[in-house]
Amino acid sequence: MDVSGWTDTSAIEAWLLEQSKRQDDALDLAQMALALAALGRPGSDAAPYAAHLDTLAREAEAVAEPGMTAAEQVAALNAALFDRGGYRGDSETYDDLANADLMRVIDRKKGLPIALSILYLHLARRLGWAAAGVNFPGHFLVQVGAGEEGLFVDPFERGAVRTPAELDRLVKRMQGPEAALAPEHLALAENRDILLRLENNIKIRCLKAGDTAGGLGVVERMVLVAPAHPGLWYEAAALNAELGQLRRARTCLEAVIKLDRERRLAGPVEELLGRLKARLN
Question: Does 263 share its domain with 143?
Answer: no
Structural domain ending residue among the three candidates 189, 214, 229: 189
> Does residue 232 lie within any of the structural domains?
yes
Question: Does 201 share its domain with 142?
Answer: no
> Does residue 4 lie within any of the structural domains?
no
CA distances from 259 to 232, 244, 247 (A): 11, 24, 19
Regions of the chain short of the pLDDT cut 50 = none
Let me know how many helices (H) and strands (E) the chain has, helices first.
Answer: 12, 7
Structural domain ending residue among the three candidates 189, 207, 223: 189
> Does residue 3 lie within any of the structural domains?
no
Q: What is the pLDDT of residues 150-165, one digit of tens each?
A: 999 999 999 999 999 9
Question: Does 199 share its domain with 183?
Answer: no
CB 131 within 8 Å of CB 108: no
Question: Does 220 share its domain with 151?
Answer: no
Closest of 180, 158, 110 to residue 142, by C-alpha: 158
Residues 116, 29, 173, 204, Cα dihedral to 10° = 100
* Amino acid 84: pLDDT: 93
CB 60 within 8 Å of CB 76: yes
* Amino acid 153: pLDDT: 98
Question: Does 174 share its domain with 247?
Answer: no
**112 is in which domain, residue-wise?**
9-189
Question: Does 77 share its domain with 152?
Answer: yes
pTM above 0.85, yes or no: yes
Please give the helix or strand (H or E) that residue 189 lies within, else none: strand 188-189
Please tell me the total count of domains within the chain: 2
Question: Does 143 share its domain with 206?
Answer: no
Q: Indicate the residue type of 45.
A: D
